[in-house]
């Protein structure tokens, strides 16, 4: 399990996914906007945050539907040109949610789909980070999920590399060495 | 939706600038606590209902049981959000002691809750006790200096000060060549700036 105090993990688990109740549950009518009484009926289709859906799935109360962001349409788009798909808009925790839902929904294709999406986007993010001017970056950044961090570190590594290549002598003298010793009297 | 407020609290924390403390949201915090109490009440009601029907609370798996489970899970979730909020803030507050010194500037101080202020004071006292035991100020030179002396410009009238190797009149806008360890405390209080170049 991820770190209990991890902020990102907590926010990620707040993503909504569709589930179908296999058992009725009393006293929680709030979950189902269509419920007439304070009960969620068996067979009701409800949108729940991931933290609740996961635990209820373990207790076999609900079955989880594959989240929207892994549907056929997205898959086709990713196959066409992974780097241009706006993943942030679909789900800002695309990979994390995928890793966590894959074992629950029993869809074996999600894993390889995530890997494919990441591999092709990774290549593109790196090359854009190395070459793109700062002015075009914001537009590109807006379609990235947490891949942002990757983009930023790629950019800073490139900046450091350039500095190393251009900048002065390979070995820098410590500033202390250059100075004449002051007489103490 | 259950747990919505708690996650708003966490999101608010993460939306803030990295390493910067935002104001303690006691209003939202209390709302989440109230939500927890409501869950607890519902949970007890459902449990009582199961018992009243003469069913075994350990093995019953009816609609009441699953309702209770949902309330229980929401409680646990809310707890996790609140804990993470407090814990991550506490880490920032610990860092403040190293960066800003034992006295917090008022604009940061007002962002802390009462118990966070107390935490800061106690952490600061513990650190000071340790440092006096070692007879070493651990908070200076967090980055190893290239040169023990630095050029500084004084931003505010400090007056005549006895430093470790000299005594200097630190008047506003005057420039000095000081030992880094002496200058560091003034810089962290915002009374001096280092001249780069």
Q: B42 vs A30: CB contact, 8 Å cut-off?
A: no
Q: Is residue B143 part of a domain?
A: no
CA distance B21 to chain A (A): 15
B13 in reach of chain A (CB within 8 A): yes
Q: Are residues B108 and B55 in the same domain?
A: yes
Q: Are residues B126 and B169 in the same domain?
A: no
Q: B3 vs A51: CB contact, 8 Å cut-off?
A: yes
Q: Are residues B101 and B19 in the same domain?
A: yes
Q: Are residues B87 and B163 in the same domain?
A: no
CATH 3.40.50.2020 fits A1-65, yes or no: no
Q: Is residue B139 part of a domain?
A: no
Contact B34, B5 (CB under 8 A): no
Q: Are residues B81 and B158 in the same domain?
A: no
Residue of B178, B170, B171, B172 whose CA lies nearest to B152 = B178
Q: Is residue B30 part of a domain?
A: yes
Q: What tokens appear for B94 in the block?
A: 């610990």
Look at residue A51 in the predicted model and tell me its pLDDT. Answer: 92
A24, A26, A60, A174, best to mutate vs chain B, most B CBs in 10 Å: A26
The domain in which residue B47 lies consists of 4-134
Q: Which CATH number fits domain A69-165: 2.40.30.10, 1.10.600.10, 1.20.58.2050, 3.40.50.2020?
A: 1.20.58.2050
Counting residues of chain B whose pLDDT is more than 90, the rounded percentage is 30
Query: At which residue do the structure tokens 């869809």 appear?
Result: A107
Q: Are residues B107 and B159 in the same domain?
A: no
pLDDT tens, A108-139? 888 888 899 889 888 888 888 877 666 566 66
B158 burial type by CB count under 10 A (0-12 exposed, 13-18 middle, 19+ buried): middle
B122 burial type by CB count under 10 A (0-12 exposed, 13-18 middle, 19+ buried): exposed
Residue A52 has pLDDT above 80, yes or no: yes
Look at residue A29 in the predicted model and tell me its pLDDT. Answer: 75
Q: B10 vs A11: CB contact, 8 Å cut-off?
A: yes
Q: What is the CATH number of the domain that holds B29?
A: 1.20.58.1030
Contact B5, B31 (CB under 8 A): yes
pLDDT tens, B71-124? 999 999 999 999 999 999 999 999 888 888 888 888 888 888 999 999 999 999
User: Of B104, B134, B164, which closes a domain?
Assistant: B134
Q: Is residue B128 part of a domain?
A: yes
Look at residue A5 in the predicted model and tell me its pLDDT. Answer: 92
Residue of B7, B86, B76, B72 whose CA lies nearest to A93 = B7
Q: Are residues B116 and B179 in the same domain?
A: no
- CA pair distance A107, A101, nearest whole angstrom: 9
Q: Are residues B128 and B165 in the same domain?
A: no
Q: Are residues B91 and B153 in the same domain?
A: no
Q: Are residues B124 and B71 in the same domain?
A: yes
pTM exceeds 0.90: no
**φ, ψ for residue B51 (rounded to 5)?**
-65, -40
Q: What is the CATH number of the domain that holds B158?
A: 3.40.5
- CA pair distance A115, A16, nearest whole angstrom: 22
Give the closest of A14, A56, A175 to B146, CB-based: A175
Instruction: Report ipTM (2 d.p.).
Output: 0.78
Q: Is residue B142 part of a domain?
A: no
pLDDT tens, A8-41? 899 989 888 889 999 888 888 777 777 777 888 8
Poorest-pLDDT segment among A61-75, B30-44, B141-155:
B141-155
| Sign of torsion over alpha carbons B96, B101, B103, B106 | negative
What is the domain partition of chain A in residue ranges?
1-65, 69-165
Count of structural domains, chain B: 2
A interface residues, B as partner, C-beta within 8 Å: 4-8, 10-11, 14, 23-28, 30-31, 39, 49, 51-52, 55-56, 59, 61, 174-176
Q: Are residues B107 and B175 in the same domain?
A: no
β-bridge partners, A8? none
Q: Are residues B114 and B158 in the same domain?
A: no
Q: Is residue B105 part of a domain?
A: yes
Residues of B in contact with A46 (CB under 8 A): none
Say how many CB pairs under 8 Å bridge A and B. 89
């Amino acid at each position: 399990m991820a770190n209990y105090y991890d902020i990102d993990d907590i926010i990620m688990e707040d993503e909504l996914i569709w589930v179908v109740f296999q058992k009725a549950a009393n006293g929680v009518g709030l979950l189902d906007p269509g419920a007439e009484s304070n009960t969620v009926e068996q067979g009701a289709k409800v949108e729940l945050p991931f933290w609740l859906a996961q635990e209820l799935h373990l207790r076999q109360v609900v079955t989880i539907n594959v989240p929207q962001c892994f549907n056929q349409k997205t898959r086709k788009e990713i196959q066409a040109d992974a780097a241009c798909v706006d993943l942030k808009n679909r789900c800002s925790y695309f990979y994390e949610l995928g890793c966590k839902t894959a074992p629950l929904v029993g869809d074996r294709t999600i894993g390889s789909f995530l890997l494919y999406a990441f591999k092709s986007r990774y290549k593109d993010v790196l090359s854009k980070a190395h070459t793109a001017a700062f002015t075009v970056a914001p537009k590109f950044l807006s379609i990235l999920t947490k891949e942002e961090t990757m983009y930023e570190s790629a950019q800073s590594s490139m900046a450091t590399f350039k500095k190393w290549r251009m900048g002065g002598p390979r070995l820098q003298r410590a500033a202390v060495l250059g100075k004449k010793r002051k007489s103490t009297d | 939706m259950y747990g919505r407020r708690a996650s708003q609290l966490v999101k608010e924390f993460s939306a803030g600038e990295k390493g910067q403390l935002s104001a303690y949201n006691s209003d939202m915090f209390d709302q989440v606590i109230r939500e927890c109490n409501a869950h607890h009440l519902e949970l007890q009601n459902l449990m009582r209902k199961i018992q009243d029907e003469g069913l075994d609370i350990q093995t019953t798996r009816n609609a009441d049981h699953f309702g209770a489970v949902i309330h229980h899970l929401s409680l646990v979730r809310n707890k996790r959000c609140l804990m993470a909020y407090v814990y991550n803030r506490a880490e920032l507050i610990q860092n403040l002691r190293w960066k800003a010194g034992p006295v917090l500037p008022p604009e940061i101080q007002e962002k802390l809750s009462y118990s966070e202020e107390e935490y800061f004071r106690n952490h600061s006292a513990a650190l000071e006790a340790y440092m006096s035991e070692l007879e070493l100020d651990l908070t200076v030179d967090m980055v190893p200096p290239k040169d023990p002396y630095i050029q500084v410009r004084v931003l505010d009238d400090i007056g005549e000060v006895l430093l470790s190797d000299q005594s200097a009149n630190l008047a506003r806008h005057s420039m000095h060549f000081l030992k880094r360890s002496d200058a560091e405390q003034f810089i962290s209080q915002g009374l001096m700036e280092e001249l780069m170049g």
